[in-house]
């Protein structure tokens, strides 16, 4: 079974591949593909929905129809309380196009300059959707809470990971090893819920 993950972000694909292996789905013959594995000439999707769920569903439907494959898509981002929930669905493009992690982090630090320690709460949110060319199959949403630091820490992960701090762990997301990050991250939690759904519906998926 080929499963297309609707992203060109190798960091996301690596995280998802890790969870597929843990869940035993790679052993069942699931072959994981990313957008870079599609033939050239495909048209990207405009992520213009106002919610993470809306964007995840739009991406899953779009790339399932383009590829003809079972497609998993997510929309995830950072929501900072002191910024009214920003950058939210614009997280990847917070500093403008094209996506630039360093520029996004720099803009976030500027926006948070002067915000006191007790008001730097934030959450990562992930909505994950699974679709075939004919239908939407499932949607899962999860989140994780932390605070925004005043400077980056750690070299693992991607995006806002170096600034997202877990007080209970004393570490940022970018300081966590892959297995630890996957165990507590918003994407890891949403993905495990989705993989649980896939395992429960495995006979139907094999017939697709």
Annotate 58-85 with DSSP letters as a single string: HHHHHHHHHH-SEEEEEEEEEEEGGGTT
75 is catalytic: yes
Write the pLDDT tens digit of every residue in 77-108.
999 999 999 999 999 999 998 889 999 999 99
Domain count, the chain: 1
Cβ distance 106 to 114 under 8 Å?
no
CATH code of the domain containing 65? 3.90.950.10
Dist. CA 53–CA 80, nearest whole Å: 18
- Residue 122 parent element (H or E): strand 121-131
Burial class (CB in 10 A: 0-12, 13-18, 19+), 36: exposed
pLDDT at residue 25, rounded to an integer: 87
Catalytic residue among 37, 44, 75, 142: 75
Domain range holding 37? 2-206
pLDDT at residue 179, rounded to an integer: 79
Backbone angles phi, psi at 61, to 5 degrees: -65, -45
Give the list of residues 6+ apart from residue 110 with CB closer than 8 angstroms, or none: none
């Amino acid at each position: 079974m080929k499963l297309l993950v609707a992203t060109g972000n190798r960091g996301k694909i690596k995280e998802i591949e890790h969870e597929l292996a843990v869940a035993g789905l790679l052993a069942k013959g699931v072959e994981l593909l990313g957008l870079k594995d599609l033939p050239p000439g495909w048209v990207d999707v405009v992520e213009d929905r106002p919610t993470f769920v809306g964007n995840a569903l739009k991406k899953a439907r779009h790339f399932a129809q383009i590829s003809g494959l079972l497609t998993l898509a997510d929309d995830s981002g950072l929501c900072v309380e002191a910024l009214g929930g920003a950058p939210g669905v614009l997280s990847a493009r917070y500093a403008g196009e094209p996506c630039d992690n360093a520029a996004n982090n720099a803009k976030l630090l500027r926006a948070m300059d002067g915000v006191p320690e007790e008001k730097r709460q934030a959450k990562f949110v992930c909505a994950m959707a699974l679709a075939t060319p004919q239908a939407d199959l499932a949607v899962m949403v999860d989140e994780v809470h932390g605070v925004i630091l005043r400077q980056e820490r750690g070299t693992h992960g991607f995006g806002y990971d170096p600034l997202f701090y877990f007080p209970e762990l004393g570490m940022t997301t970018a300081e966590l090893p892959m297995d630890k990050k996957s165990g507590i991250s918003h994407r890891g939690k949403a993905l495990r819920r989705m993989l649980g759904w896939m395992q429960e519906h495995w006979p139907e998926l094999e017939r697709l």
